[in-house]
Each structure stands twice: as structure tokens, then as C-alpha cells.
Amino acid sequence: MTTTPSAAAEEAIKRLIRDGAAVTFQAVQREAGVSHSFLYGHPVLRRRIEQLRVRQAPKRIAQRPRRRTVTRLCSF
């Protein structure tokens, strides 16, 4: 049975999610055996990978604003 590149990429994405691995263009390309240009050129797959990357990105902790240091110039 021959698998289309699109189906191979979808299966690769599912495997990466199941395994808890990061879903990136490189990981999908490696798992599915397709090229980067194929993934970037396929609007549905590209959008899916981009959305999963955003969802998987570590949440940044809001940092408190830094206090501004005031330098006083003294004239002697």
C-alpha cells in the first residue's frame, strides 16, 4: 500500500504528539520522509504544524518590570 506524502506527514504529526515530542517542520520532515519545501508549500500541513508549535511552546512567565535606576549628577 502506497502512502501519499500528505498522509505520511499527518501520521508523523500524530506520532510526534502521541510520543510527546516537539512538532516542528524538521521533526515532521524526518518522520514522514518528505521535504521541508513540501511541508511549507502545503497550506493545511503548514498551518497545522505552526499551530502545534505555538501550542507546545513553553509559557513565558511574566517578568516584573525592572526598576529604573536614577543617576543623580552632583556638582561640587
68 within some domain: no
Q: 49 lies in a domain?
A: yes
Q: Which residue has the cell 529604573?
A: 68
- What is the average pLDDT score of the chain? 86
Task: For residue range 59-68, list pLDDT tens digits in order.
Answer: 665 555 666 6
Q: Is the model's pLDDT at 15 over the cut of 90?
A: yes
Comparing 60 with 41, the larger pLDDT belongs to: 41
In a domain, 10, yes or no: yes
Per the CB < 8 A criterion, the answer to whether 16 and 28 are in contact is: yes
3-state secondary structure 43-54: HHHHHHHHHHHH
Domain count, the chain: 1
Q: Note down the domain range covering 44.
A: 5-56
> Does the residue 70 lie in any domain?
no
- Domain-embedded: residue 9: yes
Answer yes or no: is 72 within a domain: no
pLDDT of residue 62: 56
Evaluate whether residue 31 is within a structural domain: yes
Q: Where are the alpha helices (DSSP H) in 1-76?
A: 5-19, 25-32, 36-41, 43-56
Its sign, for the CA torsion 61, 25, 9, 49, is: positive
* pTM, to two decimals: 0.72
